[in-house]
Amino acid sequence: MKRRLLVMVCFVVHFILLCETNVSNSYALLYDGGLKVTASYTLYNTGSILSCAAICYGKPGCWLFTWDAVSKECQLLDFLNAVVITESAPSTLRTYYANSVRGKKIVRTPSQSSWTGNNNTCANMGGRLFLPEDNTYCYILNHIVGVNHVHIGLWRYPSDVTVWYNMDGQTTFPSLNWGSGQPNNCLGSQYYGSCHNGKAGDVPPNSITYGICDI
């Protein structure tokens, strides 16, 4: 299957955003030198930041990459399996993360609310709660939002503790590993899903935090 990929520079100021048509991801600046996410990366000699982004797009788990403006090194994230920590990096090393996935912009709700409140907020913004495709993206979301717990597009009916749905009402979707001992239906009312320190967790109706929408 041939995927068409068009990447273009949308606007270039201090903040650089790469964007494209709705068939791929776009990337936003996370660190403008000095810091990088501690992780395993694969080095590519791509010659340009645009081809670095394009190769990241085609690589499963690559939700983040670094580009060194001087050495022209492109480092693609392999995966994350722990809460994000950072380390020092050259001042010329920039880190970008996917802030748009398969054509949908990934945004935080403006304020903290219950899962259903966030579900409504996302709908009012023209989208819905986002379900990350893997734990690596969950770790990145927790890091970017800056809280260890964010509501995502995962829910179940109160009457059935075993079947979980995405926002399309499907029970089969890219799997996100649950945290240890999760879902645990603590106190018998955990109907909603969250990214909790990078892993899926079930939360009750009175859990208050940010929601992640795709719009």
Give the nearest distance from C-beta 137 to ligand NAG in angstroms: 19
Residues in the chain: 215
The whole-angstrom separation of Cα 26 and Cα 54 is 9
- DSSP-H helix ranges across the chain: 49-57, 115-124, 135-145
Q: How many positions of this chain bind ligand NAG (CB under 6 A)?
A: 8
| Identified binder of ligand NAG from the candidate list 8, 10, 23, 83, rule CB under 6 A | 23
Nearer to ligand NAG, 51 or 120 (CB): 120
Nearer to ligand NAG, 75 or 119 (CB): 119
Nearer to ligand NAG, 95 or 114 (CB): 114
| Identified binder of ligand NAG from the candidate list 27, 137, 139, 155, rule CB under 6 A | 155
Alpha-carbon Rg for the chain, nearest whole angstrom, is 18
- DSSP-H helix ranges across 18-171: 49-57, 115-124, 135-145
The tokens of 188 are what? Answer: 């018998």
Report if residue 57 touches ligand NAG, rule: CB under 6 A: no
Nearer to ligand NAG, 58 or 103 (CB): 103
Q: Which amino acid, residue 25?
A: N
What is the arrangement of strands in the sheet containing 149-155, beginning at the earlier edge strand? 149-155, 192-196, 199-203
Footprint of ligand NAG on residues 104-123 (CB under 6 A)?
116, 119-120, 123
Interface contacts to ligand NAG, rule CB under 6 A: 22-23, 103, 116, 119-120, 123, 155
